[in-house]
């Protein structure tokens, strides 16, 4: 597989392609042209061809793309078959929502355990995931070669816990704390879930539909 | 205020600017040039000038941008002082996490009530938000002129509940169901929180750091 440096904008678009391709496969469509795909996704055919050309050639001139093959290639590029070992830290409402409802296996991760400081939850098993005391985290990470942590602790503990995780050898953090983490180790990969950005965008789109105050 | 049609890419960047400006204000910086701002955000000065020029002139040649004024303008453009009335539907773990930890007022919304079908939660008050039975939703929406709904119901109920909300007069949905909503009313504004896209991107970035299999 060709593995040139791909821009993060292209990579950010790949999950959207993947969702679209899943949808096409579900509806029994096994081949699609860049023109049709573009129309359905609000992109130009040349944009699509350019995106896909970054990591090799999937399409055949005049025949379009093979949906199943394209899905597999994108999955492989994204590392969705990697099964990176992950732990979830902070089993409050957000943590529970993820453990109960989110299928980590589909997206490249194997959720091995949860960690919390509260006796209410330590020792329990939630949706087949065992919850351990946060004091046992260092040992667990090293013994199980854990790669990633899903950070769901309260905001005030975010930096402390994140820095501990980095010290214990965690390589990547999926950050749900609604704060920008400040890490001493800048090699740790951080991916933030910014609820606020999304809600601000919604606010903007509602605002846009309102009659302009100047138009009186 | 100038209100031309602004591209959604620019709008998507505004929350990031806002976070940066909050950070600058917090550190007592009251003026910044497009060059400095670009350096701190990984953008070119001309990109920044172009983004801000879409909605009028904030900067003064040679003096840079007034941090506080820029924050206010962006807030106003995004409608963050609107206080749009919102309800949250589905008070499970995800719903509770939002009610407990998320400050809707900061982002343009006033959370008025929660709705659920379960007797375990109906009648309770969580973080000053009253939870009502889902059967009372239609009446509440019309009596209180609710604009937006935060959708946190289980995936299998997502389309049904979303279509009911549209019928009851809801104009915008913040969608946490991890599914693409299919609405009969296509005027409803939908903003999805795609956990999966974010996790796939994290998977990619970890994959990128691994030694290439071909390099043996």
Say how many C-beta atoms besides its own lie within 10 A of residue A119's C-beta: 8
B residues 66-125 closer than 8 Å to A (CB):
77-80, 82, 84, 92-94, 96-98, 100-102, 104, 106-109
Decide if A172 and B202 are in contact by the 8 Å CB cutoff. Answer: yes
CA gap B108, B198 in Å, rounded: 24
Is B112 in contact with B87 (CB distance < 8 Å)? yes
ipTM: 0.88
Q: Which has more confidence, B50 or B161? A: B161
Decide if A206 and B107 are in contact by the 8 Å CB cutoff. Answer: no
Minimum mean pLDDT among A55-59, A163-167, B99-103: which range? A55-59
Candidates A74, A87, A90; CA nearest to A172 is A87
Q: Residue A62 region, left (φ>0) first, then alpha (ψ -120 to 50), else beta?
A: left
Best A14, A93, A102 member to test B by mutation, with max B CBs in 10 Å, is A93
Q: Does B43 reach chain A within 8 Å, measured CB to CB?
A: no
| pLDDT surpasses 80 at A87 | yes
- Average pLDDT (A37-43) is 87
Q: Does A56 reach chain B within 8 Å, measured CB to CB?
A: no
| pLDDT surpasses 60 at B188 | yes
Q: Which of A78, A100, A196 sits opposite B200 (nearest CB)?
A: A78
Decide if A207 and B82 are in contact by the 8 Å CB cutoff. Answer: yes
pLDDT-based confidence at residue B211 (cuts at 50, 70, 90): confident
Q: What is the pLDDT of residue B52?
A: 84
Q: What is the pLDDT of residue B216?
A: 43
Is B85 in contact with B140 (CB distance < 8 Å)? no
Nearest CA of chain B to the CA of A6: how many Å? Answer: 10
Collect all residues with Cβ–Cβ distance below 8 Å to B72 and sequence separation of at least 6: none
Candidates A50, A163, B206, A6; CA nearest to A177 is A163
pLDDT-based confidence at residue B60 (cuts at 50, 70, 90): low
Nearest CA of chain A to the CA of B45: how many Å? Answer: 19
């Amino acid at each position: 597989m060709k593995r040139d440096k791909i821009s993060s904008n292209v990579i950010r678009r790949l999950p959207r392609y993947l969702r679209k391709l899943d949808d096409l496969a579900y509806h029994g469509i096994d081949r699609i042209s860049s023109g049709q795909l573009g129309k359905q996704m609000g992109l130009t055919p040349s944009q699509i061809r350019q995106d896909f050309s970054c990591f090799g050639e999937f399409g055949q001139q005049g025949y379009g793309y093979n949906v199943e093959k394209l899905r597999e290639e994108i999955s492989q590029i994204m590392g969705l078959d990697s099964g990176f070992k992950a732990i979830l830290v902070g089993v409050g409402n957000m943590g529970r929502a993820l453990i109960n409802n989110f299928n980590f296996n589909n997206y490249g991760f194997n959720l091995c355990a949860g960690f919390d400081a509260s006796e209410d939850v330590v020792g329990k098993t939630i949706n087949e995931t065992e919850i351990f005391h946060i004091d046992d985290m260092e040992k667990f990470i090293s013994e199980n070669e854990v790669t990633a942590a899903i950070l769901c602790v309260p905001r005030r503990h975010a930096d402390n816990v994140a820095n501990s995780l980095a010290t214990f050898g965690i390589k990547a953090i999926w950050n749900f704390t609604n704060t920008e983490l400040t890490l001493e180790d800048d090699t740790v990969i951080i991916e933030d879930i910014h609820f606020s950005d999304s809600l601000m965008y919604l606010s903007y789109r509602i605002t846009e539909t309102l009659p302009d105050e100047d138009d009186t």
